[in-house]
Amino acid sequence: MIPRYSTPEMDAVWSDPARFGRWLEVELLATEGHAEIGVVPAEAAAVCRAKAPTSDEAFVERILEREKITDHDVAAFVDTVQAEIDDPAGSWIHYGLTSSDVGDTALCWAMRDAADLMIEASTALLATLVEMARKHRDTVMIGRTHGIHAEPTTFGTKVALWALQVERDRERLRLARDAVAVMKLSGAVGTYSNIPPSVEAFVGKALQLAPIPATQVVARDRHAQFLYACASVGATCELMAVELRHLQRTEVREVQEGFKPGQKGSSAMPHKRNPISAETISGLSRVLRGNLSAGMQDIALWHERDISHSSVERVILPDSSQLAFYVMRRLKRLLDGLVVMPERMQANLDASYGLVFSQPVLLSLVQAGKTRDDAYRIVQRNAMQAWDDGVDFRTLLEADDEVDNSVLDDAFDLRRSLSNLGQIFDQLDAIDV
CA distance 173 to 171: 5
Active-site residue flag, 246: no
CA distance 407 to 409: 6
Contact call for residues 100 and 216 (beta carbons, < 8 A)? yes
CA distance 139 to 342: 6
CA distance 257 to 25: 46
CA distance 19 to 168: 30
Residues 6+ apart with CB under 8 A from 351: 149
Active-site residue flag, 146: yes
Closest CA to 226 of 179, 293, 282, 156: 179
Choice among 15, 122, 136, 146 that is catalytic: 146
CA distance 67 to 75: 8
Phi and psi at 290, nearest 5°, equal -65, -40
User: In 3-state terms, what secondary structure has residue 255?
Assistant: strand
CB atoms within 10 A of CB 125: 27
CA distance 344 to 155: 12
H helix runs in 351-431, sequence order: 358-367, 372-389, 393-398, 408-411, 414-417, 422-429
Closest CA to 256 of 264, 265, 247, 243: 247
CB atoms within 10 A of CB 368: 12
Phi and psi at 391, nearest 5°, equal -115, 150
Contact call for residues 13 and 114 (beta carbons, < 8 A)? yes
Q: What is the DSSP string of 159-206?
A: HHHHHHHHHHHHHHHHHHHHHHSEE----TTSS-SSS-HHHHHHHHHH
Strands 210-211 and 182-183: parallel
Choice among 193, 266, 293, 311 that is catalytic: 266
For residue 360, whether the previous peptide bond is cis, meaning omega lies within 30 degrees of 0, is no
Residues with catalytic annotation? 146, 266
